[in-house]
Structure 1
Amino acid sequence: MSTLSPVKRLWRLLKLYKPEIRQIYTYAVFIGLVNLSLPLGIQAIINFLQTGELSSSWFFLVTVVLVGIGVAGILQVLQLRIVENIQQDIFARSAFEFAFRFPKMKAKEVDSIHAPELANRFFDTLTIQKGLPKILIDISLSTFQIFFGLLLLSVYSLYFIGMGLVIILVLYLLVKITGEVGLKTSIEESKYKYRLAHWLEEIGRARRTFQLNDPSSFHLKKSDNITVDYINSRESHFKVLLDQFKSFVGFKILIAAGILVVGGLLVFNQQMNIGQFVAAEIVIILIINSVEKLLRVWDNIYDVLTAFDKIGFVTDLELQENQGQEVVSSDVDCYLSFKKATFRHKGQTAPLFSDLDLKIPARARAVLNSKTGTGKSTLLQIMAGVQDLESGDILLNDISYSVLSRKSLHQKLGIVFASNQIFEGSIRENILVGREVSEKALLAVLRDLELEDYIKGLPNGLETILDSGGRRTPRCIIQKIHLARAICHGPGLLLMEDPLVNIPLEERSKLINFLTDDRHPWTLIVISDDEEWLKKSTMTVKL
């Protein structure tokens, strides 16, 4: 897994928007220059007022100041438009990144993780969206405001150059000393935030368990423990922000004292007139405000960097490789073979099985029938290409999975796993999952699985929306939908894990007869202890 720091992740994202950021900085430079019209214009206006005469030049200067304020406002609006475009693009990129990655994550990567909890990290995209305008606009504006302000002050007196160097040095030390600690405490705070969100999801998922064991208040005690950890970590992060703000207050007093003392002495020594002194005061106020804005942005920077750290956990998970180019012929029956196959779960020392040699001929009706824990389900996942072998090889029609195109493999597969794979969508969508199957073929499958009458009895038929996980839908119907999904496209290799456990006995026998019928060209491999399956099998595999 990659170990990119949050800062590097931020730079990598910003590189995608170089032209847009260049525009934002160009506007920031012009805004910084235009803002100088305010102190310079006021300086000239005061000098005119001291003469005691009202002239057209005075009106012109007032107009220049007002136009400068207006131009700066227009440039800021343009900046906001560019940043909004970037925000929308980041949201779209992140949405497709998550949607693309979840199905392709290596099984070993997510075996020890609750995958739905990872989806919560998508909301950090919104944190990046909200924080980006402040990083791109406020930092650029403040930086150029400070730079041009110090440049103008140095024109009034060389003493102000020293003051500028002090400002830069103090800002650098403040970021250097507190920046790393602030990011660490922010990530720690976020960790407990996600842990609490995950626990609340668990309470919602297993609500009946907690409802029936309510007197124990276990769920409340665990929520309280995580909340206390979150508050403690947040307090630690707040102390860093508080230290930064305290430092700024002292810094602001130092700068204000410096300009008042130095400016006053320069006026008394007639090295600066009143107009210049007032203009210098305005510039110093602008600089102080810019420094304060920079420090306030740091909280957003911590949030954005933390968001990159959380999203990076998802994007760093390894994906299944799909480099194979070999294709299985569409008109050839499928047969499988394992050669010295060894598999070990992540984090385990002993292999689940090793040096496995197994051949399953074309059109076989094979039953995996072994004790619990011997690796039947894992073996089925390896056949489906979900898990990868540690060593050895698996071949489909003498083509190694390592060189076999995943698309070609998936087109040949029909799979029914024990886990509930119903998603929120129509019955048609749950069966087809985007595949092209003729209406005639689909209806034939529904008829063979005795699903036709049930669907006809629904107000919207195949367009009836199923809840996530198939809530409010009978379990036997859910299993038949799984079967329909597995066989509707005419697979060559049918892999099933206890596919009929929730179906009544009478229907179960009919379905077993249908699935094992010789007229179907598929090679069937099923995990089951049911005697009916064993009677209809052509081979039994024990691990």
Structure 2
Amino acid sequence: MSTLSPLKRLWRLLKLYKPEIRQIYTYAVFIGVVNLSLPLGIQAIINFLQTGQLSSSWFILVIVVLLGIAVAGVLQVLQLRLVENIQQDIFARSAFEFAFRFPKMKAKEVDSIHAPELANRFFDTLTIQKGLPKILIDLSVSTFQILFGLLLLSVYSLYFIGMGLVMILILYVLVKVTGKIGLDTSLEESKYKYRLAHWLEEIGRARRTFQINDPSSFHLRKTDSITADYIHGRESHFKVLMDQFKSFVGFKILIAAGILVVGGLLVFNQQMNIGQFVAAEIVIILIINSVEKLLQVWDSVYDVLTAFDKIGFVTDLELEQRKGQEVISPNSDCSLTLKKATFKHKDALEPVFSDLDLVIPAKARAVLNSETGSGKSTLLQVIAGVQDLESGDVLLNDISYNVLSRKSLHQQLGVVFASNQIFNATIRENILVGREVSEKELLQVLRDLDLEDYIKGLPQGLETIMDSGGRRTPRCVIQKIHLARAICHCPGLLLMEDPLVNVPTGEKVKLIQYLTDEKRPWTLMVISDDQEWLKRSTMTVKL
């Protein structure tokens, strides 16, 4: 897994938007320069007023100052437009990044992780969206404002140059000393935030369990424990922010005191006139306001860097890297071979199975019938290409999975896992999952699985929306939908894990006869202890 720091992740993202960011910074430079027209213009206006006469030059100066304010406002609007474009693109990019990665993550990478919880990290995209305008606009404008302000003051007197260098050094030391501590405490706070969100999801998922056992208040005690950890983490982060705030307040006082004292002495010594002194005061106000903006931005910087770290946890998970080019002809019979196959879970001490040799001939009806824990389900996942072998090989029609195209493999596969794979979409979408199957073929499959009458009884038929996990749908119907999904495209290899456990006995016998009928085009492997499967099988596999 990659170990990129949050700061490097930020730079990597910003590189994608170099042209837009270049424009934003260009506008920031112009805004900084234009804002200097205010103190310079006022200085010139005061000098004219001291003459005691109104002239056309005075009016022109007033108009120039107002134009400067207007131009700065227009440039800020253009900055906002550019940042909004970046925000929208980041949201879309992140959405597709998550959607693309979830199905392609290596199974061993997510075996010890609750994958749905990872989706919570998508919301950090919104944190990045909210924080970027402050970083790209406020941070850049404030920085240039301080630099240009100090440069302008240095024009009035050489004393201001030294003051400016000292102030920049102090600001750098403050950021350098407290920056890493603030980021560490922000990451710690975020860790407990996600832990609490995960626990609340668990309460929602298993709410009936907690409802029945409510007198124990276990869920509340655990919530209290995680919340206490979060508050402790947040308090630690707040203390860092408070220290930074106090330092910035002291920094502002130092700026104001230094410039007021030096400016006042210069006026008394007649090295600076009143107009210049007033202009210097306006510059001081601009610099102080810029420092305050930097302080407000700094908390957003922590939030954005923390968000990159949390999203990075998902984007760093290793994906399947299979780039095989070999294909299997559509509608061809499929034979399966395992050679010296060994599988071990990540961080496990012992393999689930090792040196396994197995041959399943084309059109076989094989039943995996072994003791619990022998690795039947894992074997099915390996054959389905979900899990990778530690060593050995799997061959479909004598073509190794290492060189077989993933697309070709998936076209040949029909899979029914024991876990509920119903998602929030229509019945049609749950069955087809984007595949192209004619209406006639789909209706025939529904008819063969005795689903036609049930679906006809629904007001919207195949367009009825199913709840996530198939809530409010009978379990036997859910299992039939899983079957329909597995066989609607006439697979060459059908892999099933206890596919009919919730189907009534009469229907079960009929469906087993249908699935094992020699007229069906697939090679069948099923995990089951049911005698009807064993009776209809052509071979039995024991691990």
TM-score bracket for this pair, using the shorter chain length: over 0.9
Counterpart mapping for 1:433-452 below 5 A: 433-452=433-452
Offset from partner CA, 1:98-138 (integer Å, 9 cap, x none) = 00000111110111101100000000000000000000001
Secondary structure at 1:499's aligned position in 2? coil
Match of 1:307 in 2: 307
Secondary structure at 1:392's aligned position in 2? strand
Match of 2:154 in 1: 154
Match of 1:249 in 2: 249
Distance in 1 between residues matched to 2:266 and 2:427, nearest whole Å:
83
Match of 2:41 in 1: 41
Distance in 2 between residues matched to 1:255 and 1:72, nearest whole Å:
25
Counterpart AA for 2:419: S
Counterpart AA for 2:254: L
Q: CA deviation at 1:411?
A: 0.2
Offset from partner CA, 1:486-510 (integer Å, 9 cap, x none) = 0000000000000000000010000
Secondary structure at 1:414's aligned position in 2? strand
User: Is the contact between residue 431 and residue 485 of structure 2 (CA under 8 Å) also seen in structure 1?
Assistant: yes
Distance in 1 between residues matched to 2:83 and 2:331, nearest whole Å:
54
Offset from partner CA, 1:149-194 (integer Å, 9 cap, x none) = 1111111000000111111101110111000000000000000001
Distance in 2 between residues matched to 1:30 and 1:475, nearest whole Å:
66
Match of 1:365 in 2: 365
Counterpart AA for 1:223: T
Q: Does 1:209 align with 2:225?
A: no
Distance in 2 between residues matched to 1:5 and 1:153, nearest whole Å:
38
Distance in 2 between residues matched to 1:486 and 1:332, nearest whole Å:
17
User: Is the contact between residue 423 and residue 467 of structure 2 (CA under 8 Å) also seen in structure 1?
Assistant: yes
Match of 1:270 in 2: 270
Match of 1:282 in 2: 282
Q: CA deviation at 1:321?
A: 1.5
Q: CA deviation at 1:295?
A: 2.0
Secondary structure at 2:472's aligned position in 1? coil
Q: CA deviation at 1:223?
A: 0.3
Offset from partner CA, 1:210-238 (integer Å, 9 cap, x none) = 00001000000000000000000000000
Q: CA deviation at 1:144?
A: 1.0
Q: CA deviation at 1:319?
A: 0.7
Q: CA deviation at 1:67?
A: 0.6
Match of 1:406 in 2: 406
Secondary structure at 2:402's aligned position in 1? coil
Gaps of 5+ in 1: none
Counterpart AA for 2:20: E
Distance in 2 between residues matched to 1:454 and 1:249, nearest whole Å:
71
Note the aligned Cα RMSD (angstroms).
0.6
The ranges of structure 1 where at least 4 consecutive aligned residues each deviate by more than 4 angstroms after the TM superposition are none
Q: CA deviation at 1:62?
A: 0.7
Secondary structure at 2:494's aligned position in 1? strand
Secondary structure at 1:520's aligned position in 2? coil
Normalising by structure 1, we get a TM-score of 0.99
Distance in 1 between residues matched to 2:405 and 2:68, nearest whole Å:
63
Counterpart AA for 1:287: I
Q: Percent identity?
A: 85
Q: Does 1:527 align with 2:537?
A: no
Offset from partner CA, 1:317-344 (integer Å, 9 cap, x none) = 0111231000012242100101111100
Secondary structure at 1:362's aligned position in 2? coil
Distance in 2 between residues matched to 1:91 and 1:2, nearest whole Å:
22
Report how many residues are paired: 543
Match of 2:25 in 1: 25
Counterpart AA for 2:366: A
Counterpart AA for 1:524: L
Distance in 2 between residues matched to 1:175 and 1:111, nearest whole Å:
40
Distance in 1 between residues matched to 2:492 and 2:436, nearest whole Å:
17
Match of 2:376 in 1: 376
Counterpart mapping for 1:102-121 below 5 A: 102-121=102-121
Secondary structure at 2:271's aligned position in 1? coil
Secondary structure at 1:491's aligned position in 2? coil
Distance in 2 between residues matched to 1:347 and 1:530, nearest whole Å:
34
Distance in 1 between residues matched to 2:218 and 2:311, nearest whole Å:
31
With 286-295 and 39-48 compared, the bigger mean Cα shift is at 286-295
